[in-house]
Amino acid sequence: MNMMIDMTENIREGIVRELRAWHTTGLRIAIWEATGESAAFLEIHGLDAHRFPIVVDSDPVQAGRLVPGTGQVIRSPDWLLDNPVDIILIPCPWRAADIVRQIDAARIPYEGILIPHQGHLVDYHAAEMVLA
């Protein structure tokens, strides 16, 4: 049991280090999805409203609400059309394909999309090729 806890903690710490590094680049990062599993990801990995203020959600009902546990104001995806970001982080990899289709259909600009995979943040498009 301790080995599993240690492995989980190592994965969490690895992602926290990578998020800290991404934050220091000065790139604008948006987090896509704000409830349930995604909200838990934000809280567990310390994605606070000060360092990671931009959160959008596909569900229009969520716009204007706060992310549970971390406090970011949830915005609609259209907000990104007027306020473009460099990186979009999708905390739930199983939702990534649907979200990327939504992003592309809305012509939301971005430089890269990150998803968590095996304890790291990876480029969605590269992972999509490997995981297909």
Which tens digits make up the pLDDT trace of 63-88?
Answer: 999 999 899 999 999 999 999 999 99
Average pLDDT in the chain: 87
Range among 21-25, 67-71, 108-112, 114-118 rated most confident: 108-112
Distance CA 103, CA 79 (A): 12
Look at residue 6 in the predicted model and tell me its pLDDT: 46
The answer for 69, left when phi > 0, alpha when psi is -120 to 50, beta otherwise, is: left
Extract the tokens encoding 106: 């809305």
Verdict on whether the full-model pTM lies above 0.85: yes
* Percent of the chain surpassing pLDDT 70: 86
Q: Which of 33, 19, 31, 53 is nearest to 98 (CA)?
A: 33
Distance CA 21, CA 25 (A): 7
- Residue 31 binned pLDDT confidence (cut-offs 50, 70, 90): very high
Choose the weakest-confidence range: 7-21, 34-48, 53-67, 112-126: 7-21
Name the one residue in this structure whose structure tokens are 């969520």: 62
* Percent of the chain surpassing pLDDT 90: 61
Q: Which of 7, 16, 18 is nearest to 48 (CA)?
A: 16
